[in-house]
Homo-oligomer: A and B are copies of this chain.
Amino acid sequence: MINYEHISRSPIFHGLNPQTVEELLHTANFQVKHYRPKATIALQDDSCNFLMMVLEGRVQAQMLDYSGKQVVMAEITPFFLIAPAFLYAGKNEFPVNVVALETTSVLFIHKADFTALLQQNTTVLHNYLRIISDRSKFLSEKIMFLGFKTIKGKIAAFLLQQYREQQNKTLNINITQQELADYLGVARPSLARVLHEMKEEGSLDIRRKQYILLNITLLQQEAQ
C-alpha cells in the first residue's frame, strides 16, 4: 500500500498535496516493485526508460567505468529519484546498474508517461527541472574545487562557498576530514597537514567540526 502522505514529501512532488499526488500518479500509470537485499533493480538499458523513486529501503546506482570497474555513483534513500539525469540523456553508453542494499520498494513510471506528467503539471515540471539543474550546478562547483592546483586553494574555495551560504564566519561542517578529503579529491593526512598550515598562518581556526574563518582576504587570495 502506498502512503501518499510520504510520497508527497518527495522533492519531485514538492508543493503538492497528497490527494493531487495520488491523482497524478494514477493517471501516469505507475508500478511498484519490491526487492530483497542485494537484488538487482535495473540493469543497463532498463534504467534509462523509467523514472525510478525509492519508496522504502536503500539502493545504490552503480556504473561501469572505462576500465570496467564498478563504481558507486550514488546511494539513494526513500523518496529520492534514482539517476534522474540519465532518463533524458542523449546517449546512454554508461551501463547504470541499480541494486538494493536493503529490503526495498521502488516506484517506476515509464519515460513516456512521465513526460506526459511533466506536461500536465507545472509544479512537477518545475520540480524536475530544479532537481536536475541543481545537480548540474553541484557538479560545476565540484569541478571548480578539483580545478585548484593546491590543497590550500581547494580548502579556501570550499570554505568561502560555505561562508557564502551560511553567512557566518563560524562554519559548521558536518562531515569528517576523511569525507572532506574525498570530496576534494586528496588524501586525508595531506588535508590535515594543510589545515594545520592554515591555522598557523592565521587564516582560520578549527574546533572539531567548527571552522572559524579569521582572515577572509587571505583565504580569497589563496582561492585563485
A interface residues (Cβ-Cβ under 8 A, vs B): 65-69, 73, 85-91, 93-94, 115, 118-120, 122, 125-126, 129-130, 132-137, 139-140, 142-144, 146-147, 156-157, 160-161, 164-165, 185, 219-224
Chain B residues, Cβ within 8 Å of A139:
136, 139-140, 143
Chain B residues, Cβ within 8 Å of A135:
136
8 contacts between A and B (CB under 8 A): A66-B144, A66-B160, A66-B161, A68-B220, A90-B134, A118-B118, A119-B125, A132-B136
Task: Report how far A69 CA is from B66 CA in the complex, Å.
Answer: 35
Chain B residues, Cβ within 8 Å of A146:
143, 146-147, 185
Chain B residues, Cβ within 8 Å of A67:
156-157, 160, 219-224
Contact B122 A223 (CB under 8 A): no
Shortest C-beta distance, A81 to chain B (Å), equals: 13
Shortest C-beta distance, A203 to chain B (Å), equals: 13
Chain B residues, Cβ within 8 Å of A165:
93
Shortest C-beta distance, A222 to chain B (Å), equals: 8
Contact B185 A130 (CB under 8 A): no
Q: Which of B93, B143, B223 contacts A142, CB < 8 Å?
A: B143
Chain B residues, Cβ within 8 Å of A93:
164-165
Chain B residues, Cβ within 8 Å of A219:
67
Given contacts A164-B66, A164-B93, A220-B67, contact A126 B115 (CB under 8 A): yes
Contact B69 A224 (CB under 8 A): yes
